[in-house]
Structure 1
Amino acid sequence: MTELDATRAYYDTVAEEYATRVPGLFAEDVTGRAMLGAFAEEVRADGGLPVADVGCGPGHVTAHLDGLGLGVHGVDASPRMVDVARRRHPGLRFEAGTMDALGLPDGGLGGIVAWWSILHTAPELLPSLFVEFRRVLAPGGRLLLGFHAGNGEPYTGQPRPEGVAYAIHLLSPDHVGQQLEEAGFTVTARLTAAGDRWPQVCLLARAGT
């Protein structure tokens, strides 16, 4: 089983309880929502091209971006999560898919949000992921990343009774910033906040022309 397969299986298993728990945590995340607000303002100022919320989970961030006036759709590798998102937010579009192959035309998006989703990607695979993000973004398009900070070390959570477990990677903000620059982005803002277990980092970047 690949890491992607394991992640998909885990979120398929926990989709319903995750959808019940996480939106409440998001409502308490004042600093994170401030970064999402800055992202939305910049996308609107650039003409308001569509936005993708990749690794959207149950769709709470997608719905928040919609409320900020963006045309947005969600993408998630877990079909069960997509089902939950569609049920909870019937007016929005959600699709099953992976971040490394979005299946979107070149340069069609004004923004991408990956809100605590790139941390399921091994650090050595992030450069190709960021190249894919750059491909689908219009020149000047915005990218907002949220992740747990560390030095690249993996963490595996407790397995479920069904036998599936998730793995995350604690990512170095400096290293992620360097990888973004190599993929054609300029980091324009960085926020670090205390987390329950690890520091939380948001990076806002702009695609080159």
Structure 2
Amino acid sequence: LHPSLLSAYRKRERSPDLIDAAENAAGPRRRPASPSPPPISAHREDYDMSKSNDIYASLFKSLKQVSTEREEAEKRVKEQQEIKKHIIASAPPPPDEEYRAWWLSFYGTPCPYSCPQPMVPPPPDLQPIIASYAEFVARNGAEAELELRDRVDLQLHFMHPTSHHFSYYQHLVRMCQWELSQKLLEEPTVAEQAEVTGTEAGTTGEAENPTTSDGTAETPAA
């Protein structure tokens, strides 16, 4: 082809996306793309599941009801446990039958308490005084306690049931009584051992110095 025709043919074959720099040097190199349509969302902003009647709303309401019932049941269980703990804590302790029996045997009257009061240790300077009087009462009985308690000059407040140290004092009395009873149980054993020892010593003496039928001691032959 003629060169002029060839150039005209090339101009017709140029891509429409390419723009001559001489025609529009500052323009875009490619055709601007058309804007894409906004995405379609499946979520409905005006949808209220609590007011709808479809299957999803029914399922949501059922699950919400089950969750609410479970929370209420757990709350009731916790409340019952707290009530039970409070009842157990506020209930009086079971009767101390051993303490009541000791009171009856020592004082000769029924015990007015179901169990001893909580033991409160006295100050260190008061402990040896209480121990001394407790031992004296344990040896001499409840009459000695009544006489000492009624003496105003002594001011033995720990012997009164209203004292915080009354339970501590009674505990020492019972301990002293137990120790005295243990000593009494051991004394016959000691006496029996002494008697057996004396008998054995007498038997040995008779064997070493035999006597005749008339009561005179035999003289060994030379």
TM-score range, shorter chain: under 0.3
Higher relative contact order (CA 8 A, sep 6+): 1
TM-score (norm 2): 0.17
Structure-1-length-normalised TM-score: 0.18
Q: Bigger radius of gyration, 1 or 2? A: 2
